[in-house]
Every structure is written in C-alpha cells, then in structure tokens.
Amino acid sequence: MDLRAYYRKVREAEAGLDGEHVVVVSLSTPEGGKAGVRTETPRLVAAKLIALGSARAATEEETAAFEKEKSEAKVRWEQEEAARRMQVVVIPSNELKRKERG
C-alpha cells in the first residue's frame, strides 16, 4: 500500500467532512463488514474509514434519522433507569388503619 496515496485520501476525505463528529454508514467488505450500520465517529476516524473504503459519509436524511433514534434510545434508557430506581414501600393494612385513627 502506498502510504502517501493513503494519507492523501485521508486528508481529502477529512476536508470534505463538516463538524467535529460525523455520522458514517458502513459498507460491506470482503472481511465480513456489514453494510448499512450507522455510527457517529470523530472526523479523523471517519476520514480513515472512508479512505479505506469501509464506510461512507451519511446523507443529511440518514444523519437526521440516526440522531432521532439516538435521542429516542436515550429517553427509553432514562425511563428504564428511573423505573429501576423507583422504591415501593408496603404498609400493612393494620398499620394504615392505626395511623388514620391516631
């Protein structure tokens, strides 16, 4: 592999990317890489993946869908954590009656 050509591709790919973090979509590879998996990566990592041909930059629609799925997953996780932390106190009925009378 020609390292100069590789790093030129990385620089070109990085120049075409906006923002500190980029959403990339994986491509199928001979090593068994699964196509269509969206991932948010730092810009340099995204450029390297693009230069190697194992990923491509996501379109605006794909990025918006990824962000929506990510925010929905966060909400679900927060709800599950809140439900897990919820504490239930069981008061026997005779103690409850005693408190009402007293």
Per-residue pLDDT of the chain (102 residues; tens, 9 = 90+): 789 999 999 999 999 998 899 999 999 888 888 899 999 999 999 999 999 999 999 999 999 999 999 999 999 999 999 888 877 778 787 776 776 765
What's the structural domain count of the chain?
1
Q: Which amino acid is at 20?
A: E
Looking at residue 96, its pLDDT comes to 67
Structural domain for 65, as ranges: 3-101
Q: Is the pTM of this model over 0.85?
A: no
Whole-angstrom distance, CA of residue 66 vs CA of residue 36: 12
C-alpha 26/C-alpha 35 separation (Å) is 5
Q: Which pLDDT does position 75 carry in this prediction?
A: 96
